[in-house]
Amino acid sequence: MAYDEVLAHRIREILADEPDLTERAMFGGLGFMLSGHMAAAAGSGGDVMVRVDPADAAEHHASGLVEPMIMRGKEMAGWMEAPADAVATDEALAQVVGWGVAYVRTLPPKVKKPKAR
């Protein structure tokens, strides 16, 4: 199943003024990359995956907007998931995406390595 196109458009609007923004289809979703780091992703069911500082995860969870990201039964440190109903308003979506932007902007930009010949 493809990612939620309406949600992707809403995220694009939030990130419109961000420099070094790219998009990448992955795992059935659409990742929004800033300087090579994924800040957020639109999922197929309207859910949003967001990258956060692991030290702030409990605080973000307490907001009631996001849950820890679980993959293959294991909690993924630094990744949270917001269900569609939690990001139904533009304000809530902007807050969740903003957490991802704030965190990835603390990371050094990724540099593409030349391919070995």
pLDDT digits (tens, 9 = 90+) for 7-32: 999 999 999 999 999 999 987 899 99
Reported residue count of the chain is 117
Q: What angle do CA 59, 33, 111 make, to 5 degrees?
A: 115
The answer to whether position 42 is within a domain reads yes
- pLDDT tens digit sequence for 57-95: 999 999 999 999 998 999 999 999 999 999 999 999 999
The answer to whether position 115 is within a domain reads no
Distance CA 66, CA 79 (A): 10
The answer to whether position 112 is within a domain reads no
pLDDT bin (cut points 50, 70, 90) of residue 1 is low
How many domains, the chain?
A: 1
CATH number at residue 97: 3.90.1150.30
44 burial (CB, 10 Å; 0-12 / 13-18 / 19+) is middle
Distance CA 94, CA 13 (A): 10
The answer to whether position 114 is within a domain reads no
Name the residue range of residue 49's domain. Answer: 5-104
pTM for the model: 0.91
